[in-house]
Amino acid sequence: MPPKTKAEKSAEPELPARRRCATSEVHERLLRTVPGYIEARSAIEDRTLRMLSFGRAALRTGCTSIPVVVHVVHRTAAQNVSDAQVQSQIDVLNADFRAKNTDKSTVPGAYQPLIADARVTFKLATTDPDGNPTNGITRTSTTVSSFNTDLDDVKHASTGGADAWPADAYLNLWVCPAIHSPTQTGILGYAQFPGGPADTDGVVVVHHGFGTTGTAAAPFDLGRTATHEVGHWLDLRHIWGDDGTGCAGSDLVADTPNQGGPNFGTPTFPTISCSNGPNGDLFVNYMDYVDDMAMVMFTHGQVDRMQAALDGPRSTIGTSGPCDVKPIKEFAKDNPKDFVKEPIKEFVKDLPKDPIKDRIKDNPKEFVKENPKDFVKERPKDFIKDPIKDRVKDRIDDLVKDLASDVFPGIDPVKLAGLEPVVTNPLDPVVLPQVVNPVAPDLQPQVPTATPFVLGSQAAGQAGAAPGAQAAPAATDPLVVVLQQLGEVLAGYSSASRTGALDQASASRIQALSGIYSQLVALLSP
């Protein structure tokens, strides 16, 4: 950054030597001037007290992510803080409210157990109130050199500031040249407690106490002014209770020790007040007035109070989700060495160089040369000769009977036709009952016994029907023709059986043909 000109230096307000916050003054003004604010604050405190007294768990689980809009109001180019300076402030808020700030190690051992994660995160808004994309930063040039807390003029475009975005959806954070009140100058920032007017709801910070880069200046260059003020925005009081230097005030938090007024600079441990020894004041707390480097923690009681605000008056803002979800980019960056690269090497290394050659090289002897002996030479006896008996005798009968049972459930079609043969041995004579044609007389086909199997009208034509005459539909049914011919074949086998001229092959055929005949009988029976 180029050095400032003499004019720019004279335009810059003097950096205060110690922290000043105007939140309490603004709160008192709202109590006096805004109708309904007293009632709103009373209801909020009653609800928070009930929640903390009964130990009710926070409604929001995980972490709450709050969208932030930063309104940069500037009179000089230097005050128009960069995007990088804005982001540095967001980074500080995320570290402090998640207790991930590395300087929390400076907390005295006696107070280490009190360090708590507020489970709140912040991100610059990506969508404006009209639904348009945004980077979460607005910039307004002004002629105002110092803004008045009593007027909240930085929060209105009409008075040289910038209008707030809807307070129920965004945390409004104004950055401005300087802040003063009717009673003090050199104020670093201020906030509005929950329950106040929506158009002034948010946090205000001077540019040289904002973020960690650019115009941020020591001892307020670590972004802790915004941490302190956002604590107020989430309903935290000053740790000493805002009663001056007395010991009667309270911050309404049980685990913060009573404290006689604010601490400044960088105190040493222990700092005793209000008979709070041996450990003394919790000056390392974000809600004290110490320098940025000295304030490093929230307590569990303060976190409970902030969560009560998020469940109550701030319930419309932010979204809740799991804490510490690893971004996809980090997952992809960390894992490839183990997950993608190395296993592939091992997998390729174990595979054969030429799988096809290896498969052909190893297997032919066993697969081509040796197996044919067993497959062709040794199996024919069992595979060709013997199974025919069983296959014809058992399986065809069963198949025919099963198919016929679908037509006549519970009735054996072979018995129905009176054709069930009695076979004790395939070589013994088979005694078959006399075959009676089951087809009704009016449906008997008038065909010679020697007529070969034909279909449809061909059967009628070959049966001697008059040319041009229309055959009866049943007489031309091919199943009737087949049944007639099959009956004659079975009758022939029956005659051969009675004379003892039936050989083994014919006996097997009888079993199959009897089943087929029975199936045809079942299909043609009314």
Q: Which residues are catalytic?
A: 229
**Distance set, CA 260 to CA 26, 228, 280, 502 (Å):** 22, 19, 10, 126
Strands 147-148, 120-124: pairing kind:
unpaired
Cα separation, 437 vs 245, whole angstroms: 124
Report residue 311 as tokens. 């469940």
Cα separation, 429 vs 507, whole angstroms: 8
Listed in sequence order, the residues at least 6 apart from 282 whose beta carbon sits closer than 8 Å to its beta carbon are 111, 114, 239, 256, 257, 259, 288, 299
Phi/psi at 471 (5° precision):
-80, 150
Listed in sequence order, the residues at least 6 apart from 324 whose beta carbon sits closer than 8 Å to its beta carbon are none
In which residue are the tokens 């096809």 written?
356
Listed in sequence order, the residues at least 6 apart from 143 whose beta carbon sits closer than 8 Å to its beta carbon are 75, 160
Q: Cβ distance 514 to 415 under 8 Å?
A: no
Cα separation, 50 vs 52, whole angstroms: 6
Neighbour-count burial for 186-198, b at 16+ CB within 10 Å, e otherwise: bbbbbbbbbbbee
Cα separation, 249 vs 242, whole angstroms: 6
HEC per residue, 106-168: HCCHHHHHHECCCCEEEEECCECCCCCECCCEEEEECCCCCEECCCCHHHCHHHCCCCCCCCC
Q: Angle of helix 83-97 relative to helix 224-233, nearest 10 degrees?
A: 60
